[in-house]
Amino acid sequence: MGKVTSKPLLFQSKLLCFSLFYLFTSLFLALYTTLSQTKCLFRSSPFDPIQTPLFFYNSSYGEHKYAIPTDRTTCSSPVYFSDYWEVLKEIQILSKNSSLSSKELKYMQGKADSFGGNFSTQMRISYFDNQNNITQVPCGFMKNFPISDSDQIAMEMCDGVVVVSAIFNDHDKIRQPRGLGSKTLDNVCFFMFIDETTLHWT
C-alpha cells in the first residue's frame, strides 16, 4: 500500500491563508503610514511637499488673535498638480539664461502714502497680463522701505526666482510655507521683511 501524505494544516484552509494575508497586509500598511513622512500611502515622489518646517517659532508665538495651527495633512497639498514638473523646468531655463525672455520688466518709480499704493483689485490683476515692455509694473514697494545691503546682495545672488513678502505693524502672522515641492527651494529664494512691531510679537 502506498503511504498517504497529508498537507500541512496551514494549507488545508484557504480561509486561514486569506485571513493571514489580510492581517499581514494591514499591518504593513499601518506601519508604512506611521513611519512615512508624508503620512500618505505610496507617495514617494521627489516633488512631495517639504515635511520639515523652514523655521521655528518662539514658544510664546501664536498667542494673539492671528494664531493659526501650522500642522496640516499633506495628502491634499496643492503641490500635487500635473504641471509642476513643466513649471519647474521653465523656472530653471529662465534662471539659467534670462536673455531667453524678450520682456524686460519696468517698475514704477515714486512715492505713495501707503506701502502698496492703494491700487484696486482690477488694476492689480491687469498687470499680470502685461504684453509690452512699456508698461511700468508696481512691485508693491510704493513707499520708502529700508533694505540692508546684505539683504540686497542676498537677493541679487539668488540663482533662481526671488519671492519677497513683508508684514508691518503686526498685521499678520509669520506663517510656514505650505505645499512647497522638495525641488522648489533649489530654484526659488524666499525673503520676508518684518518691522519692529511684528518682531516684538514673535
pLDDT band per the 50, 70, 90 thresholds, residue 137:
confident
- The confidence score (pLDDT) of residue 63 equals 46
Quick check: 199 pLDDT over 80? Answer: no
Name, of 46-50, 57-61, 132-136, the range with top average pLDDT.
Answer: 132-136
Sign of CA dihedral 37, 40, 46, 50: negative
Secondary element (H or E) of residue 30: helix 14-35
Q: How big is the chain by its Cα radius of gyration, in Å?
A: 27
Q: What integer pLDDT is reported at residue 79 of this predicted model?
A: 47
Mean pLDDT, residues 179-189: 82
Q: What is the pLDDT of residues 57-83, one digit of tens each?
A: 766 665 444 545 544 444 554 445 567
The pLDDT score that the predictor gives to residue 150 is 92
pLDDT score of 147 more than 70: yes
Query: What are the residues whose beta carbons fall under 8 Å from the beta carbon of 48, sequence distance 6 or more?
Result: 38, 74, 79, 181, 182
User: Per-residue pLDDT for 193 more than 80?
Assistant: yes
Q: Where are the domains of the chain?
A: 10-44, 46-200
Task: Looking at mean pLDDT, say which of 68-82, 127-141, 185-199 comes out highest.
Answer: 185-199
Q: How far is the C-alpha of 134 from the C-alpha of 47, rounded, in Å?
A: 37
Encode pLDDT of 158-169 as tens digits.
888 888 888 888
- Considering the entire predicted model, what is its pTM? 0.55
What's the mean pLDDT in 176-182? Answer: 74
Nearest to 85 by CA among 125, 130, 46, 133: 46
Give dist(CA 178, CA 163) in Å, integer.
14
For a pLDDT cut of 90, what percent of the chain falls above it? 1
Mean pLDDT over each residue of the chain, to the nearest integer: 70
Q: pLDDT per residue over 76-131, tens digit each?
A: 544 455 677 888 888 888 777 765 555 666 777 666 666 566 677 787 777 777 77
DSSP state of 181: B
3-state secondary structure of 165: strand
